[in-house]
Amino acid sequence: MSTLKVDEILKRTGTGTITIGQSGDTVTIPSGASLSAAGLGKINQIIDSGTSPNEVDIGSSSFTALTDGSTPLKASITPSATSSNVLMMVSIQTRIANAKGYGVQFKRAGTQFFASQTSYEIFNNNAQDIYGKDLWIAYDTGISTTSATEYTVFVKTDGGGNVRFQSGNELSKIFLWEILA
């Protein structure tokens, strides 16, 4: 193995693309090193919750953990730096019968960092059930740790009825992206 030591690499003439490696190669950035180019190396890892609660009906007007009693909707991430942020995307599959709508609350390590100000409004005249797949996105800037951190989803309903949170082929899931500072 050879080592090339330089202070700067420039294109030989004019401006354009500088290629490092070739197709199929892996370019490694050593631990402790960082990249300072805009848009390069900003997403460090992506986590998928992988599991979804079984179908559950929730009719509480207070935030309640989205769980079937044994499987909560949660995911954990271990940030690589205390300056990292987390982009959280939650996909929720619902069936609404008598309820007016629902709201969500996201917690990081048991502490709320996001809550919908009003419920996601779905009006139903009870003629038929309304099915939906909703996407909620929040950006968490208050992490300040490199320890494993758990994110959980809580829900509440409005309008005097239950919301059925679905499972099966239409999973409710959490996706977490570690965004490097």
Other Cβ atoms within 10 Å of 12 Cβ, number: 6
Domain boundaries, the chain: 43-179
pTM of the model: 0.72
Note the pLDDT tens digit of each residue in 73-118. 999 999 999 999 999 999 888 877 665 678 889 999 999 999 986 6
Give yes or no for a contact between 72 and 78, defined as CB atoms under 8 angstroms apart: no
Other Cβ atoms within 10 Å of 87 Cβ, number: 15
Q: What mean pLDDT value characterizes the chain?
A: 81
Exposure class string for 136-156: b at 16+ Cβ within 10 A, else e: bebebeebeeeeebebbbbbb
* CATH class of segment(s) 43-179: mainly beta
Note the pLDDT tens digit of each residue in 45-72. 999 887 778 888 888 888 899 888 888 8
Q: Residue 119: which of 170, 74, 158, 69 has the closest Cα?
A: 158
Copy the structure tokens of residue 15: 């401006």
CA 172/CA 49 separation, integer angstroms = 9
Q: Residue 46: which of 173, 178, 180 has the closest Cα?
A: 178
Give yes or no for a contact between 92 and 168, defined as CB atoms under 8 angstroms apart: no
CA 180/CA 8 separation, integer angstroms = 24
CA 59/CA 158 separation, integer angstroms = 8
